[in-house]
Structure 1
Amino acid sequence: MSRAARFMLLAASLLMGTAHAADLLSVVSGALERDPALAASRDATRAAAQAAPKARAALLPRVSGGWGRAYNGIVTEDFPTQHYWQSGWTIGLTQPVFNWANWTAYRQTDYVVARARLQAASAQQDAILSAAQAYFDVLAAADEVARATDYLHALDTHMALLARAKTAGEATLVDVRDGESSRAQAQLQWLDAQTQARLANSALSRLAGPDVGPLAALPPGGAPQLAPLAVEPWVTQAQAHGYGVQIGEMALQIARFDTEKARAARYPSVDLQVTHTPAGAAGGYSRPTTTTTGMLSVTIPLYSGGEISAKVDEANALADKARDELDAAVRDAGANARDAWLRVNSGGMRVSALDDVVRRAQSALEATRIGQRAGSRTTYDVLRATDAFYASRRDLIRARYDTVLATLKLLAQASMLDLDEVGRLNAQLFAPDSAPSHTSYASRAP
């Protein structure tokens, strides 16, 4: 089989492999379905949704019924002693007319439910970010394994040339020792890359399942462009709509209602109570008697030993705490958004610069080898050029994935990272005609 035919066969196998590769969206979706923490947050949301019917029930009538059997023994002077049994049932109704604490609790439920939903949305965003981190960690580890393997092979080739040159008297022992030192370092980098790849794959399997399969490689070009490009809109979005800020706002409103409920303990409460006991019930009468009672009761708190004042002070302190935490959340959201934007902005420029550095280092390595064969460069020069080329490739790999992850973290700071956004990024990052990222320079590596 000719070299061209073997190349075509290899390219076809790579295309068939990437056609069924799992992309970012499929991995994240699978991780969300398996995440127990996310499932727990959804359960918490369902539980919090019951706050509204519970609070509403405290405002509605309560009807209770009961049945009893009683023995009566009545001893009256100069009258025969009476002994008899009675059995029957009683029904009662209580309708709250005025209870400010219960009404405040009902008004508070909207914020309780909203906070639970925001916490669930925040948990989903955290799960998306964790799955994306694991996904790109696997890709970065695979690229690093490929780079370290190329580096090791290049130094093996260099050491073989050194051995022949030393035999011919064209290389010194110092050249051999330098080569061995670089070879040992390359071996260590290869071992570290293998370990990191196993750890990254294990982490991804834990999140998305063991049957993820091959992953779609990140094509060259780094992270997608931000929109808008300026930093201030991102800071404003994070400070206004960040999940930490929104949850803090709900917590402050809930704390204010708690203060109002604590004060409501000083107010009177009014209830309408109605009881009906049909004839034959054990009411203490010797003959069947039907009784119906209706009463409007007013309860006025007069003295509680300072308990109400203590609860009001406690609620006020907790409201102040919630307000301070909200201020901290707003400040942190703005600062984190600025940091993430800076990482994305500088990361894009760093990727472009490193891409140019890698190409120049590769050209320098090829020129140094030509010069070494012509006698104008030494084997030491070739070794240093080889080290510089593969070190720049390592820096480029890190910069590319760091920039993509910084973009995801910036979206998370603005509470914009959901499955729809992941799908949009997935379409931009993994175009159907994109080439695997780790083959960009490996095909030209010495």
Structure 2
Amino acid sequence: MLPGDKASGEIRRAYAYTAAKLTAWKSSTLCQVGMASAIGVGRYRAVWQLPDARRLVFGGFIGRLPIGVTPIAIILAVHQAYGSYITAGIAVGTYNAGFALGAPVLGRLADRYGAPLVLWLASAAHLPVIVVLVVSISTSWSLGMVWTTALCVGLTAPPTSPAVRSAWNALTAGPGQSLRRVALSLDSVSFELCFIVAPLVVGVFGLSGRPVLALLASGTFAAIGAMLIASGRHINRARQESSAAFPRSGPSAIFTPGIPTLLVVTAALGFALGALDITLPAFSSAHVSAASAGGIATALFALSSVGSVTGALWFGTKHFTAALATQWAYTLAALTAGLVMLSVVTNIPMMMVMIVICSAPIAAVATVETSMVAAIVAPSALNEAYSWNWTITVVAVGAGQVLTGAVVEHFGSAMLGFLLAAAGPALGAVVAALPRSKLRQAEAGAQKS
């Protein structure tokens, strides 16, 4: 054999060896990815097979649609009847105030007397009050009557969201605790989908020229969802077993060690969401005509929800060993980075791509938040704890909307709106990351007990 032939043979053998190794590596990597995907899907399938899981998913989705439908319907209906956005703003503000005030009270009653009873009674009061609001708007009653009725609509809103979350915790207690993150991620997805479907529901009635009828649909959704959750046999049995192990006693859940700090971090996410409510329409108005701005803003909100849902589905399949407070700090930091990135986007097509990517941590933040509440609060106080969580979120969203609206209006810059939105989760990440915070102490104490 000639020297050149020998060298060529060695090169061919080396090439074949390298190619074989690369093929093996690719096969191994693809196998690992496939196994990870299968495990993730398997976890969601396991949650789906839990007793009453379908009832929780569908009942929770239907029962929480009013959270997105009612405020939009009030604004459109009151503006149509009275011709003033200021009047409509006051009406939706009084509704939100009633919701924020009533939620902790109904949550505490649900812990004391059982969620099913409170859901039934709240539904029985809520739907008639909705009817009164519809009549008062349709017949142009006094504004004082409209605002008072809107307040009562918020006060009587069934505590479906706290009931759903506490039910998921009850169903995944004991041997099923390994599925809790997946279950709560699925719940976050269901909740996020409400904000995609809700504007479509209102839009159907708006196109017919009768947005006030969307309020009747909202009341019907609330009643159906509450009844589905309240009538779940397995859900109620799991709740009773959980409450029997940890009987309700003592002061409000808000005084549980770690909860005040948790609510501060919760407010951070709410502030960011409120800021985005103003900033995305402002960004749209700055880049397209006034006639197209509304449609573009709606598309951006929908894409944000798509990103959030995708992030939640991925997050639910992962197993993290870090403390929940640490996970919360990381997800909040990721959200902060995403919002800062949005501040440098300069055109609509790029924003449509970036909003999906940068919104991915939103539902993951909410999932860790929900898990944290369950970790430090006794099961018999979860309804009230989750209600306080929601109350603080509503207040923080309002604060984010007002402050960001003032900043964007004064400076005429959507970029500042995104940076202001990023300030909320940035502060939350710092608080969650503090090594000796009450939050971490409460989590560590709960793990030892």
Give the TM interval when normalised to the shorter protein. under 0.3
The answer to which structure has the higher strand fraction is 1
TM-score, with normalisation over the residues of structure 2? Answer: 0.25
The answer to which structure has the higher helix fraction is 2
Structure with max Cα Rg: 1
